[in-house]
Amino acid sequence: MNRLRADDPSSPTPPPADPLPPALASLAALQPVETLRRRWPQYLAAALTAAMLIGLARELLGQGLAGLRRAVPTSPGFYVFFILSYFALPLFEFGIFRRLWSVPASAFLALNRKRVANDVLVGYSGDAYFYAWASARLKMVAAPFGAVKDVSIISAIAGNLSGLLLGIVALPLGYQLIAPDILRIILWSAGLAMLLTAGFLAFSSRVFSLPRRQLWFIFAMHMLRIAFANVTIALAWAYAVPSVSVGMWLFLVAGRQLISRLPLVPNKDLVFASFAILFIGEDQLLSDLMAFTAASILAMHVMVIALLGAEYAVERTRTWRGEG
C-alpha cells in the first residue's frame, strides 16, 4: 500500500481551518484585556504597599525612633485609647460604606490601606486605591467613584467645620498667649477654610453624586468620628501625663483640631506644640509625648501594612490553588 507523505506534492492538502466567527474572535482578543482589568487593582495594591513601606521606613529611621527612645508611657490606658483613636477613621468609614454598599468585612482592611496611603504617600492616593478595590470587588455597585469622592469631600468639610467650631471655643481663651504673627496666620487660614467649605456647599448639586439623605448620614458619621478620635487621644494623653487634667487635654485637642485644618500654616505640629507648651509649661515632657505619639502612629502604620501584606499573600495563594 502506498503511504502518503507530508512532503509529497501529490499528497492531498488538508482543508484550511474554519475561521472563528467575528464575535468569538473579538471575545478571544479581549480576554487578556479583561484579565488585566480584573487584576490591576491587585497590582496597584502591591505597588502601593511597597511605596508605603519605603515611606514609613524613612520616617521611622528619621525622627520617629527618637521619640520612641525618649519617653514611653507606662500606663496601659494610653495604649488602649491611642489604638481606639488610631482606628477611628477606618472604623467609621467602614460603617459608611457598609450602609451605602453592604461591603463585606474585608473592606475594613482595604480602608486601612487607604488611610495609610493617604498619610504616607501623596494625598488621596488611598482614595484612588479604594476606588479600584470597590470597582473590582463590588460588582453590584454601578459607579463607585461618585461615592468615594463624596465621602472624601464630606470628610474634609466635617474636618473644617469641626475645627472652626472648636476654634471658637479655644481661641478666646488662649489668643493672648499666641504670637501676633501666628495668630494672624491662624485667622486668615480659618477664613480661607470657611470660604472653601461654603463653596462646596453652594455648589453641592454639581459637586456631589449621592442623594441628600445619604450625604447627611455621611456627614453625621464623620462628625462622630472626629469627636471620637479627639476624645480618645485626649484620654490617652491624660493617662500618659496624669499631672495634666483631662479637661486641659480636651481643650488642647480642640486647638489641635483647629490647627490641623488650617491651609496656610506651614508647620502644624510645631504650632500646636508651641500652643500646648504655653498652657502646660512642661515643654520637654510635652515634646517627648508628641514625638512618641507621632512615632507610635508610624509604628501602627507598619503593623497594619504587614498585616495587609500577609492577607494579600494568603489571598493570592488561594487564587493560585483555585486556578490550578
For residue 256, what pLDDT is reported? 82
Contacts for 75 with CB less than 8 Å, ≥ 6 apart: 239, 240, 242
State how far the alpha carbon of 198 is from the alpha carbons of 47, 160, 194, 213, 257, in Å. Answer: 37, 10, 6, 19, 19
Grid cell for residue 143: 459607579
Under 8 Å between Cβ of 257 and 163: yes
Under 8 Å between Cβ of 90 and 111: yes
Task: Name the more confident of 215 and 61.
Answer: 215
* pLDDT tens digits along 155-198: 988 988 888 887 777 667 666 656 676 667 667 777 777 787 77
CA–CA dist 82, 18 (Å, integer): 68
HSE on the CB side for 150, CA within 13 Å? 25
Under 8 Å between Cβ of 236 and 243: no
State how far the alpha carbon of 61 is from the alpha carbons of 55, 160, 305, in Å. Answer: 10, 32, 17
Average pLDDT, stretch 40-61? 61
Cα distance from N-terminal residue to C-terminal residue, the chain: 47
Least confident span in 84-98, 125-139, 259-273: 259-273
Question: DSSP letter at 142?
Answer: S
In which band, very low, low, confident or very high, does the pLDDT at 95 lie, cut at 50, 70 and 90? very high
CA–CA dist 285, 273 (Å, integer): 11
pTM of the predicted protein model: 0.74
Under 8 Å between Cβ of 150 and 157: no
Average pLDDT, stretch 282-300? 79
CA–CA dist 97, 148 (Å, integer): 9
Question: DSSP letter at 19?
Answer: P
* pLDDT tens digits along 269-286: 667 776 677 677 666 777
